[in-house]
Each structure stands twice: as structure tokens, then as C-alpha cells.
């Protein structure tokens, strides 16, 4: 077997990396805007900074006044600023470079992510616990116009925490990753803060914003009004009870006894006290374009605390009717954030976790984040891959309960694609998975994005350690014989690209089948103070000839997650890439359109569209693009929305 791509870790990883970018003791005052960097011996994290209305004065470049370590620290904070402005009136955006191409598919680009990180009473939250802030870019290639809207998703927590009269915020829900310093700590059971901030999908006429652990929120796609929660697992969406008799909810089990009793004990506490739903819908979904199906996955709430895992998969047709549903019970303590599918399998790359008893006690008491009840489990030098039969009558010879052990201790973050090919003569099968993964030694539930819940500060050093530990792109290759036994499993860098990278995406029409091109966010490494993250480059990898090409932003500009928009002529890389760009020196956000075929050439940039500064938004986001009506694709209509109020930003200092 191939040697592991990641360093092995001890059973007690420290995750104590040295802080290289400490907040400065003295900071300059910036004039011309109402953002003030005050001199202090104890510089706090920027709190709920409102983005000021556009003026004729740009924020001066910090790096001409102070060294780049200081600039890098504040650049990182600016990427996670709170946004208090919304607009339910379409705002016309200015194209500042290039033009909207005439063959760009008319549609709407939806972008969701956390938007509020600090309240008005001293509490800050982890970026993943920020309230969902939904944005839409409607692109019309005929008029060459781009319209922009931005609204907070009115979740139960958002309605409770924001005063509609004053616009002030008071956090009352802890969320899984945070502790409220300015709110109730001890005895606060409001852990499941469904902020609908993780991903967005439009399917079967419904626009849904998802979160990792609760029901999706339905949004009216034209006005961005919040309709309310939907339970896609109940009868309204065609639950197991409404499936035909020969396609009923299929369950395979492999454990019981003591852990089943423990689950029954835990359920009343989790469901009743902490308000956790029995099944937690994962935020990552897949689209099988060949079958015109939306694929989703859930896990059981109690399995977070038990050494077993229950996963249920759902397949919906283009009318959002459930056509397939299977549940699998795996005797291993796993955390799954993203997954894959092929024509025959659901594929889970298992991230092993364990219960932290001390952390659990502190979490239940409200003295530490609820996520501190868990820690990574590096006890084995390998990583389990579960090949689960996608269809119950597949006559699978392989025992799906027995995982393939990949020869690398790899924590998988995001999956770009997976596909399989069968040799009709020998019966052997080859399966390939393209993903991003990191070292167990680096991954820490309590320090993601460098957030320190004790101080409320964001430390960019956490994201800029040895790049061999950080997320990067990998290719996992599995060869099975005709009986389903594993003959070989290799883990290699994808396309020989070894730099820190994440968010692999492909042309969605190739999901579940062989693809050549993968795109991802990565770093050019040109900035010494922030060599690995935030990302500033889009990389394109050709897995056939191993070639690599890239496009990078300018200095002190960063990017989010790319998405591929096909032109529609059937060629895999003939299309456009959309990516959001953040120019921290001028506090501007841009929507960038790239020609996917020209990545690596000077002409790759097609258009750069500017968002008004008062509608700037934080970096963390998940996106979805919707074309006009097609089979298996959701519909988007462009209409004029009546004029209504645009909320004014509030002033806050750092």
C-alpha cells in the first residue's frame, strides 16, 4: 500500500501551535471612515463592525504604515466582520472590470454563510455559529446586469436574538462552538442554534438553507423572505410511510445491546432538554444529474456521544418526492461532514472521534462549548472508508459493515467527486475519491478558523502552520476484486498539487462519474505572514495529464469557495467559475467571473462586479447556482420586487 500522505499522530495530539501573529500593542487610527483602530495594551477582536456606507475616501493601506505581521492580523479579522445591513430591494451592481459574457447562463447565484459574530452585550460567537446571511446575485447576460439582494434568515434563534425595533442583538443561544460571555452561561441548554448558515440548494421549486444539525429553512427565492422550517423526512415530502411496498425504508443493523439501552437513556435528555432533533440533516447534499435526483443524508443525535453511527440516505426526484431511503448502523464513532456517491454506492470517509468526559461535563454546565464533548480519535494509523450499497437490491457481495482502511490518518473535510469503473472481464472494480483532508494532529474542534472561545479572538496562526498538516487535495484510489475484497488502496496528492487547499468542486454534470478537471481554493504562498490561509488563488487540476494551472487575486485580496457554471455544450471544462473576492484594504467584496478553460492565462478574468461597501459580507459561505428551468434543475424567475426598506448599518468601533 502507498505510504500515508499525512504525518501520523500520537494518541494525545496537543494542537498547541505557537501564535505567530499576536495582536499589535499599538495601532494607527484610520481617518475618512468610521472604523477606528484604537491604541490599547489589550486589543480586543473586532466586535460587530458595521460596514460604512460608500464614501469618496478609501481605507488607507495598513501595510504602508506598519509591518505585514500587524497588517495580516487585522486583515484576518476584517474577513469575519459582522454585517448589520440588509436589502430586500434588488441593488444594481457595477461591473468594474470586463463585462458579463453574452453566453453566461441566466440565473441566480445564492450564497449563504454566517453574518453576525458579536452582539451588543459583550458576547462573541464562533464563525460557524453566526446567524445565516443569505445573498443572491441575479445575472442577466442579455441586459449585462447583475442584481444583488441580502437578507438574514429569520430562524427561531434570529427572531429571538435581534430586536426588530432597535436593530440590536443579544445572543441567547450558545451554539455548538461558542460560550456566551455577555449572556447566560451556566445552565444554558440552547445549544442547537439552527442558524441555516452552511449551505443552500434550490430543488423542486423550493429554496432551502441548511445547517449541520437541524431542519432546513425554506426561503422565498425572489424576495428572500423566510417561509419557515421544513422537515424533508416527514410525509409532506414523501416519507418512508409513503414509499411503495417494495421500496420501503430499508434498515441494516449491526449493533444493539448495551449501546441501544444507552441510546434510549440519552434520547429524552437530547430531545427534551437540549432540543436536538432525533435525526440531524447534514448540510452537504449531492445531485445525481443522470437520474435527476437530489441526495441528502442524516445522522442520529445520540450517536455523537456513542461509539456507533447511524446514517440515513434520502433520494428525491425533481418534484421533491422521496424515491429511495436507506439507513445504516455502523459500529464505529464517526463524524461525517461531507460524503460522496457513485452509480452503486454511498461513500463515507470516516473521521474517527471519541467522547471527552471532562469536556462533556464542562460543556453540559455551559463552561465550555458543547463541541468540547468530542475530540479526534487518532488511535489507529488508518482511515476507514465505508462503501454502502446505494440500492437495496444491488446483490452486493462485499460486507458493507467492514470498512476499507486507507493507509493514511486523514481527516476528510470536503469531497469533490467519486466514481467507479468495473472491468467486465475480471469483475474487478476501481473506485476513486477526490477530496480535501488534513492531519488529525492539526484538526481541533475548538479552534477551527483559529477562534479561541476563551478570549473571543481569531488567531490566523492556527491556519498558517506547517502546510503538510493543513487541508490539501487528495486522491484516494481503491481496487476491489470480483468478490468485493480490497486488493489495493492508495492515498496521493491530487494532480501533484501539495499546497494547502480546500473546497474542491467539479462540473456538476459529472458528479458520480469520471471527471478530468477539479477546481479548488488554494494559496499562492506569496504573502509570508499569511502563507496558507485565507486563500487567494483558484487552482485547476487535470487528473489525466497531471497538469496544474491557477488564477490569483491581487495583494491583500482573498477568495471564498468557487462554483462551476457550465455553458451547456457538453464539454467538461467549457464554462465559468464564480468566486467571491474580498479586498480587505478597501473593504470591498466582488463577484468574480472566470473562464474555466482559460485558468492559468492572462485572459481568465471575464468580469469583476463590485458590491456596495455597506453591503459587504463575511468570508465564510456556501453557494449554489440555479439556471433557468431544465429537467432535473430548479427554476429561477427574474421579477421586479417592490421597493421596501433598506436597513441602515449601525456604527461600532473595534
Annotated binding site: 248, 337, 414
3-state secondary structure of 263: helix
Let me know the angle formed at the C-alpha of 118 by 113 and 124, rounded to the nearest 5 degrees: 100
Cα(207)–Cα(294) distance, rounded to whole angstroms? 13
Q: Which positions ≥6 away from 169 have C-beta within 8 Å?
A: 48, 116, 119, 120, 161, 162, 163
Contact 310, 196 (CB under 8 A): no
Are the C-beta atoms of residues 80 and 582 closer than 8 Å to each other? no
Q: How is 320-387 classified by DSSP, letter by letter?
A: S-EEEEEEEEESS-EE-S--EE-SSEEEEE-EEEEE-HHHHHHHHTTSS-GGGGEEE---SSSEEEEE
CA distance 431 to 342: 9
DSSP secondary structure letter of residue 268: H
Provide the β-strand partners of residue 542. Answer: 517
Binding residues for Fe cation: 248, 337, 414
Spatial separation of the C-alpha atoms in residues 427 and 487, rounded to whole Å: 13
Report the DSSP beta bridge partners of residue 597.
Answer: none
For 138-152, b/e burial (b = at least 16 CB within 10 A) is bbebeeebbbbbbbb
Residues in the chain: 654
Amino acid at each position: 500500500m502507498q505510504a500515508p500522505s499525512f504525518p501520523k499522530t500520537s494518541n494525545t495530539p496537543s494542537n498547541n501551535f505557537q501564535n505567530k501573529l499576536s495582536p499589535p500593542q499599538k495601532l494607527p487610527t484610520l481617518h475618512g471612515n468610521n472604523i477606528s483602530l484604537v491604541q490599547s495594551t489589550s486589543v480586543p477582536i473586532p466586535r460587530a463592525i458595521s460596514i460604512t456606507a460608500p464614501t469618496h475616501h478609501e481605507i488607507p493601506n495598513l501595510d504602508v504604515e506598519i509591518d505585514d505581521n500587524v497588517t495580516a492580523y487585522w486583515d484576518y479579522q476584517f474577513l469575519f466582520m459582522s454585517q448589520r445591513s440588509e436589502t430586500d430591494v434588488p441593488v444594481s451592481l457595477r461591473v468594474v472590470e470586463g463585462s458579463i459574457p453574452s453566453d453566461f447562463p441566466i440565473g441566480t447565484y445564492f450564497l449563504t454563510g454566517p453574518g453576525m459574530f458579536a452582539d451588543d452585550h459583550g458576547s462573541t460567537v464562533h464563525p460557524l455559529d453566526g446567524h445565516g446571511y443569505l445573498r443572491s446575485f441575479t445575472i442577466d447576460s442579455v441586459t449585462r446586469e447583475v442584481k444583488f439582494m441580502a437578507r438574514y434568515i429569520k430562524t427561531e434563534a434570529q427572531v429571538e436574538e435581534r430586536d426588530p425595533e432597535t436593530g440590536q442583538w443579544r445572543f441567547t443561544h450558545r451554539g455548538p462552538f461558542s460560550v456566551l460571555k455577555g449572556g447566560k452561561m451556566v445552565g444554558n441548554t440552547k445549544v442547537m442554534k439552527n442558524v441555516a448558515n452552511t449551505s443552500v440548494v434550490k430543488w423542486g421549486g423550493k429554496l432551502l438553507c441548511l445547517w449541520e444539525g437541524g431542519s432546513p429553512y425554506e426561503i422565498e427565492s425572489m424576495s428572500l423572505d423566510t417561509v419557515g422550517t421544513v422537515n424533508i423526512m416527514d410525509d409532506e415530502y414523501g416519507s418512508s410511510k409513503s414509499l411503495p411496498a417494495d421500496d420501503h425504508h430499508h434498515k441494516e443493523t449491526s449493533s444493539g445491546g448495551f449501546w441501544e439501552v444507552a441510546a434510549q437513556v440519552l434520547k429524552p435528555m437530547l430531545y427534551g432538554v437540549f432540543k436536538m432533533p432525533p435525526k440531524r440533516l447534514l448540510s452537504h447534499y449531492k445531485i445525481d444529474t443522470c437520474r435527476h435526483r437530489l441526495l441528502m443524508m442524516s445522522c442520529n443525535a445520540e450517536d455523537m456521544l456513542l461509539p456507533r453511527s447511524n446514517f440515513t440516505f434520502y433520494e428525491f426526484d425533481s418534484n421533491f418526492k422521496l424515491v429511495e431511503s436507506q439507513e445504516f448502523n455502523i459500529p464505529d464513532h464517526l463524524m461525517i461532514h461531507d460524503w460522496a456517491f457513485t452509480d452503486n454506492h454511498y461513500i463515507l470517509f470516516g473521521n474517527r472521534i471519541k467522547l471527552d468526559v471532562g469536556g462533556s461535563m464542562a460543556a453540559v454546565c455551559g463552561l465550555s462549548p458543547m463541541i468540547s464533548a468530542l475530540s479526534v480519535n487518532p488511535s489507529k494509523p488508518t482511515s476507514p472508508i465505508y462503501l454502502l450499497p446505494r440500492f437495496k437490491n444491488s446483490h452486493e457481495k462485499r460486507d458493507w459493515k467492514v470498512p476499507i482502511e486507507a493507509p493514511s490518518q486523514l481527516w476528510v473535510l470536503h469531497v469533490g467527486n467519486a466514481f467507479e469503473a468495473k472491468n467486465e472481464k475480471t469483475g474487478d472494480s476501481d473506485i476513486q475519491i477526490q477530496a480535501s483532508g488534513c492531519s488529525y494532529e492539526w484538526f481541533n474542534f475548538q479552534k477551527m478558523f483559529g477562534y479561541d472561545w476563551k478570549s473571543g479572538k481569531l488567531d490566523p496562526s492556527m491556519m498558517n502552520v506547517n502546510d503538510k498538516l493543513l487541508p490539501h487535495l487528495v486522491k484516494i484510489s481503491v481496487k476491489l476484486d470480483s468478490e468485493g475484497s480490497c486488493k489495493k488502496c492508495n492515498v496521493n496528492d491530487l494532480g501533484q498539487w501539495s499546497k494547502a487547499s480546500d473546497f474542491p468542486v467539479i462540473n456538476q454534470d459529472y458528479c458520480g462519474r469520471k471527471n478530468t478537471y477539479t477546481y479548488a481554493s488554494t494559496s499562492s504562498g506569496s504573502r509570508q505572514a499569511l502563507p496558507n490561509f485565507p486563500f487567494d488563488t483558484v487552482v485547476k487540476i487535470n487528473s489525466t495529464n497531471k497538469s496544474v494551472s491557477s488564477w490569483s487575486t491581487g495583494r491583500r485580496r482573498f477568495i471564498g469557495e468557487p462554483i462551476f457554471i457550465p455553458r451547456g455544450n457538453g464539454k467538461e471544462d467549457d464554462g465559468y467559475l464564480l468566486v467571491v473576492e474580498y479586498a480587505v484594504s478597501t473593504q470591498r467584496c466582488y463577484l468574480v467571473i472566470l473562464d474555466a478553460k482559460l485558468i492559468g492565462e492572462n485572459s481568465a478574468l471575464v468580469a469583476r462586479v463590485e458590491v456596495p461597501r455597506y453591503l459587504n459580507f463575511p468570508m465564510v459561505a456556501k453557494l449554489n447556482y440555479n439556471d433557468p428551468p431544465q429537467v432535473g434543475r430548479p427554476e429561477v424567475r427574474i421579477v421586479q420586487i417592490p421597493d421596501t426598506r433598506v436597513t441602515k448599518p449601525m456604527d461600532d468601533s473595534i
